[in-house]
Amino acid sequence: MSQPVRIKDQWAEGRLFVSRSVIGMTLVFLLSATLVAQLVWLQIIRHDYFLDQAQGNRVRRDPIPASRGLIRDRHGTIMVDNQPTYQLELIREQTPNLEDTLTRLQALGMLNTEQLDQARRAIKARRIFDSVPIRLNLSDEEIGRFAVHRHEFQGVDLRTRQTRHYPFGQLGVHAFGYVSAINEEELKKLDRASYAGTTLMGKLGVEAAYEDPLHGRNGYSEILVNAQGRSVERQGAYHPVLKSEPPVAGRDLMLSIDLPAQRAAEEGLGDRRGAVVALDPSNGDVLVLASRPGFDPGAFGRGLTRAEYATLTENIDKPLLNRALRGAYPSGSTIKPAMALAGLHYGVLDPDKREFCSGEFHLPRSAHMYREGKGGKHGGVNLVDAIAVSCDVYFYSLAATLGVDRIANFLSPFGLGQLSGIDISGERPGLLPTPQWKKKIFKHPADQVWFPGETVNLGVGQGYLQVTPLQLAVMVSVIANRGHSFQPRLLTGLLDAEGKVTPVESVKRPDVDGVTSEQWDIVLQGMIGATTRGTAAAIGRGSSYPIAGKTGTAQVFSIAQNQKVSARIENERLRDHSWFIAFAPADKPRIAIAVLVENGGFGASVAAPIAKRVMDAYLKMDTGVPPT
């Protein structure tokens, strides 16, 4: 059977062809209309805008970093300033092959392996049109080497910038702080426009705390560039009107630091580990903030290698540690004047009654012996004598009578166990222990019990008590000012370009209430006694001004009951810490000071002479002798 043959339908095929042609023409028309509309939009409607954009490709806006504000001491002496330097900068959008460029810079000796990695991270963290510093503080030899090959590195150029200069080196480094390169995390938080062209920012101390006023406001300058990003005078007939805006320099900081006293403190500490903090009791001005050992702040601005940074962080002496704010130690006997005031305030002692010091103290129904320092025996002493000769037995008994709760409540307004509110970061609160604290900190029930012996130790500044040199300076300032005090502050004013100073007001701390004038007098007599006939008589002898002071020797480790107190400690880092607190002149206090020497031994022989040296330097300044 034959298959049916399909007859071709020419009419249907014609209709299909026409419909497809209409659809095709419609699409062509729509696409053409869209293209024409877009051309009209770009060439006519938005002509001026895109013309400016195109011309902007030939006009580059270069940021002009503002000059960073200077840092001055209380007499106007410049402690931190700026100096010009050359650095190597790269603009990613003008660099055809970034990796090849970096590799060739390394081969030229402009970058080492570590700097190469840092450069990659910095470039990726910035916008493609930002000028990114990849090498800071170039030497003359490096500048000359790159200048010869400059034409080979498209998008890379030498720029003149300012870097931080510390004319006194390490002096006051923990107070002033340092600047270093802005990292990726900081870039996420910063206003990039404000920091365009800025390489460094404050990272510690005053440099960090007052970054905003120090930074100033950047300006800009428009320059004509060619396709390679190099500046040119003209491009053909194109003569743009170039704009510029000058930067506004950062404001100078007027600090409370006294340069001669600061120098005296650091020279007094020498190579020993320790700290000195001196305050003006009348307003909280920090006259001295010294911590040793220190470090070179300029090295951070130049850029530290990993090896150099490791040398600082792994150093057993911890040069990066600000001992004045962050070093926490037992206070030793420096706590005794405040303890005496607590006893007077609560009425648990008669200041004139003479107590017998046999060199030992026992709690009732306890065989444990609490010994007098250095194995001494003071015989009969009243309160003034007990402060002057630093009688431990007297204060063991006083602490046991007061009890831990009354001690903690009374000492807290003196600034112990809390932040002082100083205007730079990094301060530690120390520890003023209580039974509630012990329950919170220890997990085992047996360890949560507060024992009477711990109160006895607290009475002479041992046990769990931890203080910073700054806290003891605040405490002695409170005593000097008879219960009144101010938050410690380094910034006293802001100086603008016209020489006008905007002062910063002092901030009052809560007063110590409930202590009578007669009670303050009794403690003052004891502290004057310490520098005239007591533990610190050596520094008071021949002094041209009266000094009220108190020595302290804080144990680093406990001595067994059957071990001699005078047993020699071979390991230097296990020896007692040396403390001294004082204010002077005793009748009209102008300076209150706390000195710590780690593992220095007896406070009178090590810390007290340093304090006297600082007080001499400051009080001579206060009488009009010009700074040196």
Give buried/exposed letters for 48-67 (b at 16+ CB in 10 A, else e): eeeeeeeeeebbbebbebbb
Which one, of 213, 222, 280, 276, lies nearest residue 250 by Cα?
Answer: 213
Residues forming a β-bridge with 503? 493
Q: What domains can be seen in the chain, in order of their start residue?
A: 61-233+242-255 (3.90.1310.10), 259-296+318-622 (3.40.710.10)
pLDDT at residue 558, rounded to an integer: 56
pLDDT above 50 (res 627): no
pLDDT at residue 199, rounded to an integer: 77
Mean pLDDT over 567-585 rounds to: 81
> Could you report the per-residue pLDDT of 133-148, keeping only the tens digit for each?
888 888 889 899 999 9
Highest mean pLDDT among 91-95, 389-393, 497-501: 389-393
pLDDT at residue 187, rounded to an integer: 76
pLDDT at residue 428, rounded to an integer: 96
- From CA 487, how far away is CA 506, in angstroms rounded? 7
Mean pLDDT over 76-96 rounds to: 90
pLDDT above 90 (res 366): no
Which one, of 578, 69, 628, lies nearest residue 275 by Cα?
Answer: 578
Residue 54 or 474, more confident: 474
Residue 568: exposure state from Cβ atoms within 10 A (0-12, 13-18, ≥19): exposed
pLDDT at residue 49, rounded to an integer: 61
Give the chain's mean pLDDT.
88
Mean pLDDT over 42-53 rounds to: 68
pLDDT at residue 76, rounded to an integer: 94
Mean pLDDT over 358-377 rounds to: 86
Which tokens sit at 504?
């910063």
- From CA 549, how far away is CA 594, in angstroms rounded? 10
Amino acid letter, 141? E
pLDDT at residue 34, rounded to an integer: 87
606, 598 contact by CB (below 8 A): no
> Could you report the per-residue pLDDT of 326-336, keeping only the tens digit for each?
999 999 999 99
189: CB partners within 8 A, 6+ apart: none
pLDDT at residue 568, rounded to an integer: 47
Residue 385: exposure state from Cβ atoms within 10 A (0-12, 13-18, ≥19): buried
pLDDT at residue 306, rounded to an integer: 82
Highest mean pLDDT among 18-27, 33-42, 143-152: 143-152
pLDDT at residue 628, rounded to an integer: 45
Q: Is 397 a catalytic residue?
A: no
pLDDT above 80 (res 564): no
Which tokens sit at 165?
């200069």
- From CA 263, how far away is CA 617, in angstroms rounded? 9
Q: Is the pTM of the predicted complex or chain greater than 0.85?
A: no
> Could you report the per-residue pLDDT of 375-386, keeping only the tens digit for each?
689 999 999 999
600 band by pLDDT with thresholds 50, 70 and 90: confident
Which tokens sit at 604?
């009178």
- From CA 115, how far away is CA 136, in angstroms rounded? 10
DSSP output for 251-312: PEEEE---HHHHHHHHHHHTTS-EEEEEE-TTT-BEEEEEEES---THHHHH---HHHHHHH
Indicate the DSSP class of residue 333.
G
Catalytic residue among 256, 331, 333, 485: 333
